[in-house]
Structure 1
Amino acid sequence: MTLRAGAIWTALILLIGWPLAVAATSPLLAWRGPVYVLAGLAGVAALALLPVQPLLIRGTLPGLGDAAGRRVHRGVGLTLVFLIVVHVAGLWITSPPDVIDALAFRSPTPFAAWGVIAMWSAFAAAALAALRRPLHLKPAIWRAAHTALAAIVVIGTIVHAVLIEGTMGTLSKTVLCGAILAVFAVTLKERRVWVPLLRRWR
């Protein structure tokens, strides 16, 4: 492994591990039950994995070719869906009324609505990926739709996380969210997924 490759992987591991470590050792968890703790950490883990997806699409991560990168991208996507399910299910077990209010967009806490929007967008992105071949979607349409859903996931999740004053440290959360936005924005600029559609509609 080259020095550059080692630096990239080290930075990514620190970016993911830092907020997880801060959340796992938060004093706010001292009096919480194991289900609540698991649900909270699943949410933090999902947020921490978000920058991995655009990095895989860009081919930034050393040692992963195009084929391997696509496989890992799909695997991380499924992991994100699993973590979201664990997060919501855990919160449901600890407080069903709060989850019902959030799903119905009746929650008095603004972060809840953003979390629900991000959740359904993540599920839709995963479903679209699974149905891409059965639906015979054209590559340009598939990329544009999948990217649009991913953008909603990114924005919704970041706003959801920023509005919550919980176990994540302010600094680690700010750095992570900033990294997610930066990587996603650069990927959007490079990929230009909507350009083929705009040219077709002119």
Structure 2
Amino acid sequence: MASDAGSRTRTILIWAALAAAIGIPLAASAASPLLAWRQPVYIAAGFAGVLAMAFLLLQPLLAGGYLPGLSAYQGRRIHRWIGTLLVAAVVIHVAALWITSPPDVLDVLLFRSPTPFSVWGAIAMWAVFAAALAAALRGRLALRPRIWRRLHTSLALLVVTGSVVHALLIEGTMETVSKIILCALVVAATLKVIADLNVWGKRKRG
């Protein structure tokens, strides 16, 4: 009984911590003074970016099976759904910014923008699309599981690196402290799942 109670408490604490890690940056962004007098399309672009960062925290936690109460099958299934939502958030983010300033977004897409945060954002965006395309074509690619994991992990690292650097460099919707904490959690979760799954390690021979 004590063990069950401890397990339930641990589960509640983990989910509460995850909710705080995602909810606090969203709430801080909603209260940002930079949103004052902004057009709805600009606000939508900002919140789509914040949601994308939240999805990047969920993805490694689901892939590594770190969220209690979910089976491995459920974790993989939700991981795929969150991946789809991540693509949608990126599309909304870019499309909304395009509406506000098409020339600037075109320069970003073509890597012609002089601002470093734009370059990293473009890297993350194309990596997200590449990862989604690879996942959609996984059956046709007929890759061995180990090769697939390495490909998927490499693209995920590009997504995380580009997104984190982009978020840290830009002064936008996200509040600074909560943004730094969320970015640190995304990096930590990603590196942990890569280490735990031994993606690039040699296969042990028994």
* 2:46/2:172 contact within 8 Å kept: no
Tell me whether 1:194 sits opposite 2:186 in the alignment.
no
Measured after TM superposition, the shift of residue 54 of structure 1 is 0.7
Q: TM-score, normalised by structure 2?
A: 0.93
Partners of 1:20 and 1:174 lie apart in 2 by 13
Tell me whether 1:43 sits opposite 2:49 in the alignment.
yes
Measured after TM superposition, the shift of residue 196 of structure 1 is 4.3
> Which one of the candidate residues 60, 65, 69 is aligned to 1:59?
65
Aligned to 1:133: 139
Aligned to 1:74: 80
* 1:118/1:157 contact within 8 Å kept: yes
> Which one of the candidate residues 18, 28, 31 is aligned to 2:34?
28
The runs of at least 4 aligned residues of structure 1 exceeding 3 Å deviation read: none
Tell me whether 1:118 sits opposite 2:124 in the alignment.
yes
Partners of 1:187 and 1:105 lie apart in 2 by 31
User: Identity across aligned pairs (percent)?
Assistant: 57
Aligned length: 198
Q: Which runs of 5+ in 2 are unaligned?
A: 1-6
Q: TM-score, normalised by structure 1?
A: 0.95
Measured after TM superposition, the shift of residue 182 of structure 1 is 0.9
What's the Cα RMSD here?
1.3
* 1:91/1:99 contact within 8 Å kept: yes
Partners of 2:98 and 2:202 lie apart in 1 by 43
Aligned to 1:10: 16
Partners of 1:119 and 1:24 lie apart in 2 by 23
Tell me whether 1:154 sits opposite 2:160 in the alignment.
yes
Task: Render the CA deviation track for 1:29-56: whole Å, top value 9, x for unaligned.
Answer: 1111001100111001101221111111
Partners of 1:196 and 1:87 lie apart in 2 by 39
